[in-house]
Structure 1
Amino acid sequence: MSKMAYRRDGYNDGFAKGYNKGYEDGFSAGRDAGAARFSTPFAGTSIIIPTYNQLEYLQECIESITKHTLEPYELIVIDNASDDGTAAYLQATRTIRYWVNKENLGFAGAVNQGLMLARGTTLLILNNDSVVTPHWLSNLLTCLHSNPQFGIVGPVTNYISGEQLIETNYSDIAEMQKFSEAYNRSNTSRWTPTSRLTGFCMLLRREDFRRLGYFDEGFEIGNCEDDDYGLRARLLGLQLVIAKDTFIHHYGSVSMKSLNGGFDQVYEKNLAFYANKWADPHGMLSLAWQRNKKGYRTSDFYPTCVIVRGPGPEVYWLENGNRYPINGSGGVQAVRVSQVDLHNWQLGEAIPVEEVKRRINALYASSGDHLDAEGRLIRLPDGAVCQYKGGKMRRFINKHALSFWKLDHYEARHVAEQELHKYKEGPPLISPPVIKADNI
């Protein structure tokens, strides 16, 4: 090869590397700057709309929001790889913040992306096949802010399962809006606590989102993730409330119906995931610990003395409500938690991986002499496994939770019934939501 050819190839290679490095650095800096800007809350509502195809429904939904929402709000649309022109529509808008996925991440994944982008002091999740109505948001906000124990608020509608369904007799959207104008009169006597809210329209405070965390992306495409989220809210002592003074129209599951024969398969799979995740959730909600103490966070239902990681490469040892960065953590298995959960633990001093391994061996690889050592695993006479945490016995809700935290292969110390009387039983230990995105 001639010197000229070597020089040309060297120039091209250097240019390509320099360009790519500059692009990566610029993109990273822009992303971080954008995230910093949009992480600053504003006194309004972030309306998050996950969408998959069905562009005409999305357009009608957005038009109704524009027409009937007087309160401060921002619109965030997350497109789950639609192939019907949705991306082009969003790119042509100037008032909508949006993200277009390369693949369908499902309802939970898209909602989580919207929550990550949201800046509002209140957060609202809305199906793309909804049509909002006069006073809809003001009524929901009035209900939500009337009581600090109201955690998630939803309206009534014409097409839904459960208590949020009401009978209607309108024949078109024009008649529906006339019906809603008369129906949507704020009335405290029509606010009804419930055990279940559907995810077609859910309003919550930002501070409660920080306690609850993200939706569980273990639920594929859609269905059951709203039940899971509502249950977690109730575990924290928050109430689910139906604002029966507020009606919005819902065409009903248009994205799910587009799956055709795949709908039943997805639903059955999600039901199985829900059943595997939870044992007797409604039984837990009647226990004294849940009634008498408020202010829980989802992370309070996680075990201690475990290894966790967030969206970044850092790995932490979790103990006594603190997270300690692990130096030299290569090869250590960590449980993925969300950024929200991670920030609910205080940051401590870094510790070497050798010290983490020593603590694991002392707690889990030997039976030990002390039942009340923080993090000790204990097997009850009925076969259930508990962990001693914060002076209380904390029962793993089921084998799934024990396995999720990578503690199922350790031998728990067997104890007799009479040994347990001096210990109080605290809240159960559950698995965290599945998080698939790298930046959540």
Structure 2
Amino acid sequence: MNIANETPLISIIIPVLNLSRPINPKRFFMPRQTIKDTLADIEKNVRIPHEIIIVCNGDDPELKQFVMSHPQVTRYCINSENVGVARSWNMGAQLADSKVLCYLNDDVSIGVGALESLYEQLLADPKIGEIGPSGSFWQDCAHYEYAEGDKPIDVDAVLGFCFLMRSSTFHDLGGFDVNYSPAGCEEIDMSYRIRAAGLRCVVDTQAPIKHFHHHGVSAYKVDIRYLGKTIDTLTLHERNTAYFRKKWQNIFP
């Protein structure tokens, strides 16, 4: 099936910091997925017509050259510095030309039929605000259990490494909250906003999608540079969870 010249049904939005993902020294033995691998998975396994939008953050010259010359990349944004996840996702949505947005980490493996299944489930029910392969249940603005099971299930929050939503939902809700920059809780915040709007957050844990999270910046303590500032991941987590709780504790107890 040749999908190169078909109108895209999904806009796959991928923020990227580095061409070669840094290794977590405490998990050096764990497999590592990079943007090269993720694009190869998409080319091999995704058959639904799609476009790929890369939001390139930071000062990695090899990454910029890779993104600008890669034949799979439909559209890209080259930022002079790291603008954070929420802004990157917002930028990607503004560049998208499809009615469905797929937000994808650059360290995620996509299996055969995964995005097609999530896409079909999303569009089958207008009450579904977002859908992904992994999610969790929250109480008192705190996570307490991950979703499991062999059937799609409603959750309190869909995890941010891969999820789909309608472009209209994104625009109706005003995009992602950039107060969480550079990263952390922005996807949980969006799930709460989706539920506050009366829509469902759904996960299908049977979708063949795998997140190689062990080498992500949230997996260990490290300094993150963004917008001319620096913050370590522990301080960032404490700051963002406090902001999240203050924003939602009186709405979703």
TM-score range, shorter chain: 0.7 to 0.9
2:152 corresponding residue in structure 1 = 191
Q: Tell me, yes or no, if the aligned pair for 2:45 and 2:113 is still in contact at 8 Å.
A: yes
Q: Tell me, yes or no, if the aligned pair for 2:134 and 2:159 is still in contact at 8 Å.
A: no
Greater strand fraction, Structure 1 or Structure 2:
2
Q: Does 1:254 align with 2:249?
A: no
Q: How far apart are residue 142 of structure 1 and its match?
A: 1.7
Whole-Å separation in 1 of the counterparts to 2:100 and 2:66: 26
Q: How far apart are residue 258 of structure 1 and its match?
A: 7.5
1:203 to 138, 144, 164: 164
Read off the aligned partner of 1:272 and give its amino acid letter: A
1:55 corresponding residue in structure 2 = 20
SS in 2 for 1:246: coil
2:10 corresponding residue in structure 1 = 45
Q: Does 1:133 align with 2:111?
A: yes
How do 1:276-315 residues align onto structure 2 when only pairs under 5 Å count?
A: 276-283=246-253
Whole-Å separation in 2 of the counterparts to 1:100 and 1:128: 16
How do 1:280-429 residues align onto structure 2 when only pairs under 5 Å count?
A: 280-283=250-253
Change (3 A) 1:154 1:82: farther
Read off the aligned partner of 1:270 and give its amino acid letter: N
1:223 corresponding residue in structure 2 = 184
Q: Tell me, yes or no, if the aligned pair for 1:143 and 1:243 is still in contact at 8 Å.
A: no
Change (3 A) 1:86 1:255: farther
Q: Which runs of 5+ in 2 are unaligned?
A: 1-6, 22-33, 136-143, 224-231
Q: What CA deviation, in whole Å up to 9, does each residue of 1:141-164 have, x standing for no partner?
A: 12112211111000149xxx9525
1:105 to 68, 73, 83: 83
Q: How far apart are residue 93 of structure 1 and its match?
A: 1.6
SS in 1 for 2:204: strand
How do 1:83-122 residues align onto structure 2 when only pairs under 5 Å count?
A: 83=60, 85-96=62-73, 97-122=75-100
**Higher RCO (CA 8 Å, separation ≥ 6 residues):** 2
Q: Which runs of 5+ in 1 are unaligned?
A: 1-41, 167-188, 284-440
State the TM-score, normalized to the length of structure 1.
0.47
Whole-Å separation in 2 of the counterparts to 1:249 and 1:266: 25
Q: How far apart are residue 82 of structure 1 and its match?
A: 4.2
Whole-Å separation in 2 of the counterparts to 1:263 and 1:209: 27
Q: How far apart are residue 92 of structure 1 and its match?
A: 1.8
How do 1:142-181 residues align onto structure 2 when only pairs under 5 Å count?
A: 142-156=120-134, 162-164=145-147
Change (3 A) 1:195 1:258: closer
SS in 2 for 1:274: helix
Q: How far apart are residue 210 of structure 1 and its match?
A: 2.6
Q: How far apart are residue 255 of structure 1 and its match?
A: 3.9
Q: Tell me, yes or no, if the aligned pair for 1:191 and 1:242 is still in contact at 8 Å.
A: yes
Q: Tell me, yes or no, if the aligned pair for 2:221 and 2:234 is still in contact at 8 Å.
A: no
Q: Tell me, yes or no, if the aligned pair for 2:185 and 2:241 is still in contact at 8 Å.
A: yes
Change (3 A) 1:206 1:235: same
- The structure with the larger Rg is 1
Q: Tell me, yes or no, if the aligned pair for 1:143 and 1:191 is still in contact at 8 Å.
A: no
Read off the aligned partner of 2:246 and give its amino acid letter: N
May I ask how many residue pairs the two structures share in their alignment?
A: 217
Compare 109-118 and 270-279 and name the one that shifted more: 270-279
Whole-Å separation in 2 of the counterparts to 1:70 and 1:227: 29
Read off the aligned partner of 1:120 and give its amino acid letter: S
Change (3 A) 1:226 1:62: same
2:204 corresponding residue in structure 1 = 243
Q: What CA deviation, in whole Å up to 9, does each residue of 1:178-212 have, x standing for no partner?
A: xxxxxxxxxxx711011111111110112222322
Q: Tell me, yes or no, if the aligned pair for 2:18 and 2:60 is still in contact at 8 Å.
A: yes
Greater helix fraction, Structure 1 or Structure 2:
1
Q: How far apart are residue 95 of structure 1 and its match?
A: 3.1
1:78 to 38, 55, 69: 55
Q: How far apart are residue 112 of structure 1 and its match?
A: 0.7
Read off the aligned partner of 2:245 and give its amino acid letter: A
Supply the RMSD in Å over aligned alpha carbons: 2.2
State the TM-score, normalized to the length of structure 2.
0.79
Whole-Å separation in 1 of the counterparts to 2:157 and 2:167: 20
2:227 corresponding residue in structure 1 = none
Whole-Å separation in 2 of the counterparts to 1:251 and 1:109: 23
Sequence identity percentage: 28
Read off the aligned partner of 1:247 and give its amino acid letter: P
Q: How far apart are residue 60 of structure 1 and its match?
A: 0.5
Whole-Å separation in 2 of the counterparts to 1:109 and 1:86: 19
